[in-house]
Structure 1
Amino acid sequence: MSLLPVAEAQARILALGRPVAAETVSLNAAAGRFAAADVTARRTQPAADLSAMDGYALRFAELPGPWTVVGESAAGAGLDTPLAPGEAARIFTGAPLPAGADTVLLQEEAERDGARLILAGEGPPRTGAHVRAAGTDFIAGGTLIAAGALITPARIGLAAVGGHGTLPVRRRLRVALISTGDELVPAGQPVSGTRLPSSNAPMLAALLGGLAVDVIDAGIVPDRLDALAAAFARVVDADIVVTTGGASVGDRDLVRPALAAAGATIDFWRIAMKPGKPLMAGRLGDAVMVGLPGNPVSAFVTANLFLLPLVRGMQGAADPLPRIMPATLAGPLPATGVRAEYLRGRWDGGRAMPLSGQDSAALASLSAAELLIARAPHQAALPAGAAVEILPIG
């Protein structure tokens, strides 16, 4: 079986996951979700011409004055009567301009004696100075948040000002994590001999923590077909089932045969990438099944490239794939082979520095990494200063 290119594997895994149902939630519960429909403004902002500064509302054509101050306009309580020629109104930031006014004179450029107001500085430079015109932020009926956009804190504020108290989003996903391997023991428990603390499940749960996901930790499953079958039966309500380990070609790599026995269909297996070749994906009942490698670095890299995009896609993200950025190398890199490579690196003076220790089980170098340097297959060696593409990680 030939190895699948990364981009094709990403497209196929995204096609496996259909967006989940939409629901309406309060603004306080919407952060981190993706909009299930366009959110349009129910009002215009600003609803009227507002002052951007404290000062005096007047007609620009009447500069340099003098004027007679006939009242004041405050936020939420404007001046009801229009200004006649030669009149001005005290005005505060966020207050509506009285009818007849078109400009604001800053208070530090004004001098007042009772009701008499005169210019005491350079004055406003143009008509409309220090005024926030009606509709300059958005107008009623305009799109505030496009379908598929991530609901960020700023977008929540925008929706609130636009007249919304709730938002349409995709429901939370249920993601089950199954760690396979006779050598694993739960994190924090005593370890003897060649056994290992299980690190993939807590690492992946943390990686999913920024998304609208409910993680189901199905525990550690030994390398036995009956144990794997029982584990799959326990997570039938999950939207995504993630296994780590057991997906390679060894005698004890039993995830594939266990999935076949459970009635799963495998869409693809093995990717032309390093680390992370033994990746598989398919469907297990109504769930998308993702088999990640057991080595922690491989699991981390493939989760960033495949699992997180799948989660974002099923939550309705318009652009679920990881963000690729251009960067400049701070150190040299050797030529690549037949697989794409994702090298751990860090920022060094604004440049991407490859880390030493790129072994797929080396968690110490992963913990120090700030980015992955992405390289295509069959690339020549690169010197320091060469252009590369990177994926930010955290």
Structure 2
Amino acid sequence: MLNLEEAQERLLTLVKPGPIEWLDTEAALGFYLAEDAKARRTQPPADLSAMDGYAICGEGPWQRVGESRAGEPFDGYLEHGQCTRISTGAHMPQGSDRVLIQENAAISGETIASAEGEELPPPDRHVRKRGFDFAEGDTVLSAGTRLGPAPLALAISAGHGTLPVHKAPNIAILDSGDELASDPAACGPDQIPASNGAMIEAMVRPLGCTPHRLGPVADDLEALAKALARANDVEILITTGGASVGDHDLVQQALRDWGAEIDFWKVAIKPGKPLMVATRDRDWGTQIILGLPGNPVSSFVTAFLFALPLIRAAMGDRDPLPKTESRIASATLPATGPRQEFLRGISSDNEVAPASSQDSSALLALAQANCLINRPSDSAEAAIGDVVPVYNLRNG
């Protein structure tokens, strides 16, 4: 069996970022930038006031000769002993070099002075200098940046009405099993509701992808072949269930019949050991098939560790793997065996404890969890107070 890092590396070497498309900047939310973005303008475009008050020239008192407002700068030059009223974000008038803030000003008609006990502000006080944020030609966003709210605002501020991003991959999700009922409200006593497909889709959609659902499909080679035919031209196919080697685990055989080649199978993790990666040559490139275990917790954990990084890499993320954070164990964590374990955990106030059940089918405990506790293979028992790494989850 491969360890986690080896398996993730093997998977990610198979994927290349998708083709570049240009989107309106606001429509690019959630996508990954395909090229460096350089500023097309300077921000601020001029020296601006950072406060409401008076733009002053020289030592006071000062005679007010006008006003500079945001969007309506003062059209003139200040001489020594002159000032203008100024608002936050307004252009500093020529000749001014500092701002006397409103609450520090003594006003008598058109004469402005520093209030009693207030000293003359130093040069450039309360002034945002031209270009202090960025200058035209500066690289403001690097290729591979995910365009969240702040990067999106930065791109707009830098003058970009459109942005080059990597196109989101076409994705299909196929869940299989004779026991799966497509309608949870009409589930027979020998069935369970098919929840994996919906769960994986819910994990994928925030990345900007709209997957095609192909299941649930029975454990039957003909039925699987018909479902796979509907996935002929997707870049990524995610399957859940049927990837092991039991009498009714037919996904590997169906994939081989379809023309896929198994790259690796089995990873030394718990839950999630029977993870499978396969590829299939197409006219347009390589199709990647990720086979997840059928138990819902195993499916969730392997989707988090493999499916989401795979999709992020296909969208141009240059650092697609999830990152751990540190928490203090508030309960004893058992020693581990030869497989790396991911305990469903509940974290609060920088502490973490395992969820009530660690069974790979226990959806109640998974839904209550807000993190995965990362327990390396062959680890000794972790005592209360030990620092342990966790992956944050967004379950609610």
TM-score with structure 1 length normalisation?
0.96
Q: Distance in 2 between matches of 1:260 and 1:188?
A: 31
Work out whether residues 78 and 95 of structure 1, in 8 Å CA contact, stay in contact via their aligned partners in 2. yes
Change (3 A) 1:124 1:213: farther
1:291-306 to 2 correspondence within 5 Å? Answer: 291-306=291-306
Alignment partner of 1:12 is 2:10: yes
Q: Distance in 1 between matches of 2:391 and 2:382?
A: 18
Alignment partner, residue 134 of structure 2:
138
Q: Distance in 2 between matches of 1:80 and 1:319?
A: 50
Alignment partner of 1:365 is 2:347: no
Work out whether residues 187 and 199 of structure 1, in 8 Å CA contact, stay in contact via their aligned partners in 2. no
User: Runs of 5+ in structure 2 lacking a partner?
Assistant: none
Q: Distance in 1 between matches of 2:141 and 2:56?
A: 37
Q: Distance in 1 between matches of 2:188 and 2:48?
A: 71
Alignment partner, residue 83 of structure 1:
78
Please state whether the residue corresponding to 1:261 is helix, strand or coil. Answer: helix
Q: Distance in 2 between matches of 1:182 and 1:139?
A: 62
Change (3 A) 1:302 1:373: same
Work out whether residues 168 and 314 of structure 2, in 8 Å CA contact, stay in contact via their aligned partners in 1. no
Amino acid at match of 1:106: I
Alignment partner, residue 179 of structure 2:
183
Alignment partner, residue 47 of structure 2:
49
Question: For residues 224-263 of structure 1, what are the alpha-carbon distances to aligned partners after superposition, in whole Å with 9 as ceiling and x for unaligned?
Answer: 1121112111111211101100011201111111111111
Q: Distance in 2 between matches of 1:97 and 1:28?
A: 31
Root mean square deviation of aligned Cα: 1.2
Alignment partner, residue 100 of structure 1:
95
1:188-203 to 2 correspondence within 5 Å? Answer: 188-203=184-199
Amino acid at match of 2:56: L
Q: Which moved more, 1:252-261 or 1:269-278?
A: 252-261
Question: For residues 115-166 of structure 1, what are the alpha-carbon distances to aligned partners after superposition, in whole Å with 9 as ceiling and x for unaligned?
Answer: 2111115145421111111111111111111100100111111111110111
Alignment partner, residue 271 of structure 2:
275
Work out whether residues 98 and 121 of structure 2, in 8 Å CA contact, stay in contact via their aligned partners in 1. no
Alignment partner, residue 73 of structure 1:
68
Please state whether the residue corresponding to 2:244 is helix, strand or coil. Answer: coil
Question: For residues 292-351 of structure 1, what are the alpha-carbon distances to aligned partners after superposition, in whole Å with 9 as ceiling and x for unaligned?
Answer: 000000000000000000000000002100121122111111110000000000113320
Question: For residues 63-111 of structure 1, what are the alpha-carbon distances to aligned partners after superposition, in whole Å with 9 as ceiling and x for unaligned?
Answer: 3x11111111111221221111111111111111111111000112112
Work out whether residues 100 and 121 of structure 2, in 8 Å CA contact, stay in contact via their aligned partners in 1. no
Q: Distance in 2 between matches of 1:220 and 1:330?
A: 40
Q: Distance in 2 between matches of 1:171 and 1:370?
A: 30
Count the aligned residue pairs: 389
Amino acid at match of 1:268: F
Amino acid at match of 1:152: G
Amino acid at match of 1:78: P
Q: Distance in 2 between matches of 1:365 and 1:254?
A: 29
Please state whether the residue corresponding to 1:43 is helix, strand or coil. Answer: coil
Alignment partner, residue 317 of structure 2:
317
Please state whether the residue corresponding to 1:378 is helix, strand or coil. Answer: coil
Work out whether residues 169 and 315 of structure 2, in 8 Å CA contact, stay in contact via their aligned partners in 1. yes
Alignment partner, residue 350 of structure 1:
350
1:224-303 to 2 correspondence within 5 Å? Answer: 224-285=220-281, 286-303=286-303
Q: Distance in 2 between matches of 1:47 and 1:155?
A: 19
Q: CA deviation at 1:17?
A: 1.4
Amino acid at match of 1:27: T
Q: Distance in 2 between matches of 1:118 and 1:324?
A: 56
Q: Which moved more, 1:290-299 or 1:27-36?
A: 27-36
Please state whether the residue corresponding to 2:41 is helix, strand or coil. Answer: coil
Q: Distance in 1 between matches of 2:188 and 2:120?
A: 78
Alignment partner, residue 162 of structure 1:
158
